[in-house]
Amino acid sequence: MAKLLIKTFGCQMNEYDSSKMADVLKASHGYELTDDAEAADLVLLNTCSVREKASEKVFSELGRLKEWKDAKPGRVVGVGGCVASQEGEVIARRAPAVDLVFGPQTLHRLPELLEQTRRTHKPAIDIRFPEIEKFDHLPEPRVEGPTAFVSIMEGCSKYCTFCIVPYTRGEEVSRPLDDVLAEVDALVRQGVREITLLGQNVNAYQGSMADGGSCDLALLIHILARFETLGRIRFTTSHPAHFSDALIDAYASEPKLANVLHLPVQSGSDRILAMMKRGYTRAQFLEKIARLRSLRPDIGLSSDFIVGFPSETEEDFEQTMALIEAARFDFAYSFVYSPRPGTPAANLRDGVPMAVKQARLERLQARIRDLGIAFTERLVGTAQTVLVEKVSRRGNGQLAGKTHCNRWLNFDGPESLIGHFAEVRITESLTNSLRGELIGITAGEALTETNIETRGA
């Protein structure tokens, strides 16, 4: 059996793409995934160029892979993802070990590219953006466990001045509604109870409908909620400018919509937001949050921040800190600004010393950490609905599942609860997880003999 190793860098989108690469190559050539490079016949690097000197990292990895490849005839090396789409043929020229170069939108062509390189003994390269063709060529999704990701749109057309994504993943393209529904249907039939709708800018979704109309994210959520056994719907990543009233209203009318929102704000300073071309002000952002909180007072709210954007002053940064207080985020991804070649912001003069940026980042992260701890401590004593995913890795026989607000929760219960929603009272808040006790099975869950007994207990 041929073996495939995929090294994934970057975001959830890349994780999703990697799982699709594995599906495609299993269907075409029977490749099985492995973590062991020695056992592998094909190594794929799924790269990211959103931050850091990611391409340099890729080239040093490729240097190591040359030895790996030379050690056994027939071994193949491929580079996919955003670095591939940015560097294209340069990769194959600079790193002779590389046989395959493919972009985020051409991963479905891996089987053909593999055949091509075997035939020609030359690198096979395809980094086009052939619209949404990719999704028509992916095998039916296969799942393990009760949660799954569904990509509903690709690319991004916002062109924030700091961001490489529109150049590496192309402009926004939404999947037609019927395609999304067919995929969700296949997943639900395999026992999936929670889906996360994925896209770089997922709330810009506009899926074409059979009647010629267009479906936005709010409508999609309402339609998906009709799948009876689908219990929870999440989405990521959304953009504040597209966070529409209809979507906010969905939080009031659709209980299956998870009680959590990731809404990247990047900065609290209007001056910096304008330089970033984000398309909203801090007041507009806070107003949307206030509306949302009036409908879901206990919602979990997370965000992304860029610290040290060119010319960011102490005053700009203080406004970011003040925004964090006002919005009460309980989690965030935060980064020091990293100039991306080819983006408009990369040409801006940047006089802020790195030590200052780093100190600001640390201050921001410490505050978010404290707010996160306070958030989870407030959960102690409350009853939370949890989707039970597995037996806890701690080896104490406990079950592990996730709350609405995306926190791992461990508790005692029968394994028959895996794949079901349960009600759990939170007893303790730890650094990275919660502990609780089972108080019941969520209404509407299929009851087996074992979990009925637990319910009565």
Strands annotated E in 9-142: 32-33, 42-47, 76-80, 100-102, 124-126
Minimum Å gap between C-beta 119 and ligand SAM is: 36
Contact pick of 42, 165, 261, 273 for ligand F3S (by CB under 6 A): 165
Cβ closest to ligand SAM, residue 106 vs residue 201: 201
Phi, psi angle pair for 59, to nearest 5°: -65, -35
Contact of 60 with 97, CB cutoff 8 Å: no
Minimum Å gap between C-beta 398 and ligand SAM is: 33
Minimum Å gap between C-beta 149 and ligand F3S is: 17
What is the distance between the alpha carbons of residues 147 and 389, in angstroms, rounded to a whole number?
8
Contact pick of 112, 179, 249, 304 for ligand SAM (by CB under 6 A): 304
Residue 163 interacts with ligand SAM (CB under 6 A): yes or no: yes
Residue 50 interacts with ligand SAM (CB under 6 A): yes or no: yes
What is the distance between the alpha carbons of residues 260 and 224, in angstroms, rounded to a whole number?
18
Minimum Å gap between C-beta 192 and ligand SAM is: 25
Query: What's the number of CA atoms in the CB half-sphere (13 Å) around residue 220?
Result: 33
Residue 272 interacts with ligand SAM (CB under 6 A): yes or no: no
Residue 416 interacts with ligand SAM (CB under 6 A): yes or no: no
Radius of gyration of the chain (CA): 23
Cβ closest to ligand F3S, residue 201 vs residue 376: 201
Minimum Å gap between C-beta 419 and ligand SAM is: 31
Cβ closest to ligand F3S, residue 134 vs residue 232: 134
What is the distance between the alpha carbons of residues 82 and 80, in angstroms, rounded to a whole number?
7
Q: How far is CA 383 from CA 11, 194, 275, 441, in A?
A: 31, 19, 44, 12
Minimum Å gap between C-beta 306 and ligand SAM is: 5
Residue 104 interacts with ligand SAM (CB under 6 A): yes or no: no
Contact window for ligand SAM (CB under 6 A) among 101-109, 315-323, 337-345, 364-372:
337-345
Q: Which residue has the tokens 């939080």?
A: 251
Length of the chain measured in residues: 457
Q: Which residue is nearest to ligand SAM (CB)?
A: 304
What is the distance between the alpha carbons of residues 89 and 266, in angstroms, rounded to a whole number?
33
Residue 306 interacts with ligand SAM (CB under 6 A): yes or no: yes
Which tokens in the block code for residue 430?
């730890």
Cβ closest to ligand F3S, residue 156 vs residue 181: 156
Report helix, strand or coil for 45: strand
Residue 239 interacts with ligand F3S (CB under 6 A): yes or no: yes
Helix (H) or strand (E) holding 81: helix 81-87
Q: What is the DSSP letter of 266?
A: B
Residue 174 interacts with ligand F3S (CB under 6 A): yes or no: no
Q: Of ligand SAM, ligand F3S, none, which one does residue 166 interact with (CB within 5 to 8 Å by kind)? A: ligand F3S
Contact pick of 156, 292, 399, 405 for ligand F3S (by CB under 6 A): 156
Q: How far is CA 94 from CA 8, 15, 73, 117, 126, in A?
A: 21, 26, 21, 17, 17
Which residues does 293 contact at the CB level (< 8 Å), separation at least 6?
A: 299
Residue 200 interacts with ligand SAM (CB under 6 A): yes or no: yes
Closest CA to 128 of 68, 72, 170, 157: 170
Residue 239 interacts with ligand SAM (CB under 6 A): yes or no: yes
- Binding-site ranges for ligand SAM (CB under 6 A): 11, 50-51, 162-163, 165, 200-201, 237, 239, 264, 266, 304, 306, 335, 337-338, 340
- Binding-site ranges for ligand F3S (CB under 6 A): 156, 158-160, 163, 165-166, 200-201, 239
